[in-house]
A and B are shown apart, each in its own frame.
Chain A
Amino acid sequence: MPILELQGVTKTFGGLTAVNELSFEVQKGDILGLIGPNGAGKTTVFNLITRHLNCTGGKVIFQGHDITNVRMDKIISFGIARTFQGSRIFRNLTVLEAMLTACYSKRKTGLILDLLNSARAKNEMQQHTEHAIEILKFIGLEERKNDQAGNLPYAHQSLVGIGMALVAEPQLLLLDEPIAGMNPQETLETMELIRKINGRGITVLLVEHNMTAVMGVCNRIVVMNYGEKIVEGTPGEIMEHPAVIDAYLGSGFDARAS
């Protein structure tokens, strides 16, 4: 059974159809790349999966549950975490505070017990802090834990976004252009990090423009254009496919790369 399944998902904004009858499956353990030219509808697909937007039509099934109409804030407890394009993070918090905030869904103690400083709440806080530090070590930002997140270099901000998603211990992680703005060295490190995340048993859905990265880490790729899936296959198949070459060359891939 696939971990995530999109069934004929459609999203229209007024007259514009951003996602059109899109169907694909993500298998457990996959690193699935979702690629396509700018405006193809990739971010919109993420927003539909994590319920930041309502589907106009179709269904999203996660581990057998229909999550098409689930409230946005419940998605994380289903086991789906995400990052945002352009590193949307809690900029005015320290890195550690941001990570602790992202632990919210793991909390088992009620707000009142927490306010009363019960032993259970203290204990849980301690566990969350340890877990957050462990994740910071994992993404290589432990040294930065007391720095203000918004003051970090861009590449590190992107990592904080990934760390925040990881700290919630998801089963499916959606990464929206995590490599954008990174230098070649950072790109290689982040590719390695994505493999390590996958090695922890987390299924990854990756949107990324850097073709080297996508081809390097993904085991399957879905190519979109104008809101529709045009091809799906292994990196090898995708690179050879005429429709893909056409979509990219035909819609300003070079212009974007410049």
Chain B
Amino acid sequence: MTDRRLRNTWITWIIAIALLALLPIILGGSYILHLLIISCIWIILAQGLNIILGYTGLLSLGQGGMFGIGAYVSALLAVKLGWSFWITMPLATTATALLGFIIGYPVLRTRGIYFAMVTLGLGVILSEIFNNWIGVTRGPMGIGDIPYPTPINLGFTSIAFDSKITYYYLVLAALILVMVVTYRIAKTTLGRALIAIKEDEVLAGTFGIFPPKFKIIAFTVCSAFSGLAGCLYAHYITFISPESFGVMASIDALVIVVVGSAGMVLGPALGTIILILVPEALRFASEYRMLVYAVILGVVIMYMPQGLGCSIGRLASKIVSGRRVANAYIGTSGSNQNLRGANGS
């Protein structure tokens, strides 16, 4: 990468982060903040799925269950043992990652539709556990009074997390971390190996990439992101019950990833904006919300089968380099170059 491109990448990151940080100030309002927080959590959850589905090509339908593990582990440690969020958050994330690592070993022997079925089963089993292990999870009654993160004492001042604005900055920090990790994965050998496995496992193996190893890594990272999202959710809503972590959550995450474009770092963010923010923005017409949701899905599936992100990338590169696209007809400089560049794949 040239210095100039490197600098541009940095500038893009900084502008994006600054905009996100200023968003609550620009938009204002408690309800907007709530939406922003929920959106960040959904993007983190969907990014987990993006790693395993978008990059590795494995359709996991157990995302909701892993989301729940993160939430329950953190909530239980905080409520029953009184541990601080700053300890329960890394623990819950690690525990979910560990669970993914252990379960991944047998589960990742299956592929295609079988992998989807097994992970769906996993999600259902976890959901049953949340519902029926009443001694620990209190079953359908759920766990309430989950504490907000303990304030951070900086000496001269302390930051409390009982207001939406500070919680927003907390989830935003987590989101940025997740995005940076995903971006690095996508850019490096690890991402290239995952994509090779998605493309053709046998060919990947021929070139020295051992698919089981990379699938386990992908599934572990996916689980870690889901666990982190669950934990952030639990300490924000302060009440959790099994219904938030069922098959519907898995399906929602799937729809977000597919609509946003699987296999793109920004895909889950786009998907979340479209599927969570747009329907909310049309809330005044609340009886039509499901309709709007359905129309968005229909349009994307019919006209943008590779997702919104891909289509935007393609459009942008057409506008930016209309000339080069024309050149492609005489077969000199490839328009594909620009398309792919913009897709970030």
B and A form one assembly: yes
Within the complex, which residue of B185, B209, B340 is in contact with A104, where a contact is CB–CB below 8 Å? B209
Q: Mark B258-280, 1 if CB is under 8 A from A, else 0.
A: 00000000000000000000000
| Interface pair B188/A90, CB less than 8 Å apart | no
Query: Is A74 part of the binding interface, using a Cβ–Cβ cutoff of 8 Å?
Result: yes
Q: Which of A110-118, A130-138, A195-203 has 4 or more CB atoms under 8 Å from chain B?
A: A110-118
Query: Is A139 part of the binding interface, using a Cβ–Cβ cutoff of 8 Å?
Result: no
Query: Is B303 part of the binding interface, using a Cβ–Cβ cutoff of 8 Å?
Result: no
Query: Is B298 part of the binding interface, using a Cβ–Cβ cutoff of 8 Å?
Result: no
Q: Given the complex, which residues of B lie within 8 Å of A104, measured CB to CB?
A: 189, 192-193, 196, 207-209
Residue of B whose beta carbon sits closest to that of A50: B206
Restricting to A100-129, which residues have a CB under 8 Å from any CB of B?
100-102, 104-105, 107, 109, 111, 114-117, 121
| Interface pair A93/B195, CB less than 8 Å apart | yes
Q: Given the complex, which residues of B lie within 8 Å of A193, measured CB to CB?
A: none
Q: Given the complex, which residues of A lie within 8 Å of B82, measured CB to CB?
A: none
Q: How far is the CA of A94 from the CA of B335 in the complex (A)?
A: 12
**Interface size classification for chain B:** 20 to 34
Known contacts A94-B340, A101-B195; is-contact A88 B203 (Cβ 8 Å): yes
Q: Given the complex, which residues of B lie within 8 Å of A71, measured CB to CB?
A: 210
Query: Is A38 part of the binding interface, using a Cβ–Cβ cutoff of 8 Å?
Result: no
Within the complex, which residue of B184, B188, B199, B207 is in contact with A93, where a contact is CB–CB below 8 Å? B199
| Interface pair B190/A114, CB less than 8 Å apart | yes
- How far apart are A169's CB and chain B's nearest CB, in angstroms? 12
Nearest 4 pairs of A and B residues by beta carbon = A146-B337, A105-B208, A76-B208, A114-B188
| Interface pair B334/A90, CB less than 8 Å apart | no
| Interface pair A94/B206, CB less than 8 Å apart | no
| Interface pair B190/A111, CB less than 8 Å apart | yes
Known contacts A104-B209, A151-B336; is-contact A117 B195 (Cβ 8 Å): no
Q: How far is the CA of A92 from the CA of B210 in the complex (A)?
A: 20
Restricting to A127-181, which residues have a CB under 8 Å from any CB of B?
144, 146-148, 151, 164, 168
Query: Is B29 part of the binding interface, using a Cβ–Cβ cutoff of 8 Å?
Result: no
Query: Is B205 part of the binding interface, using a Cβ–Cβ cutoff of 8 Å?
Result: yes
| Interface pair A115/B336, CB less than 8 Å apart | no
Contacts A76-B208, A111-B190 given; 4 further ones with Cβ under 8 A? A50-B206, A73-B209, A147-B334, A151-B336
Q: Given the complex, which residues of B lie within 8 Å of A151, measured CB to CB?
A: 336
- How far apart are B325's CB and chain A's nearest CB, in angstroms? 13
Known contacts A90-B199, A90-B200; is-contact A144 B334 (Cβ 8 Å): yes
Q: Given the complex, which residues of A lie within 8 Å of B195, measured CB to CB?
A: 93, 101
Q: Given the complex, which residues of A lie within 8 Å of B208, measured CB to CB?
A: 73-74, 76-77, 104-105, 168
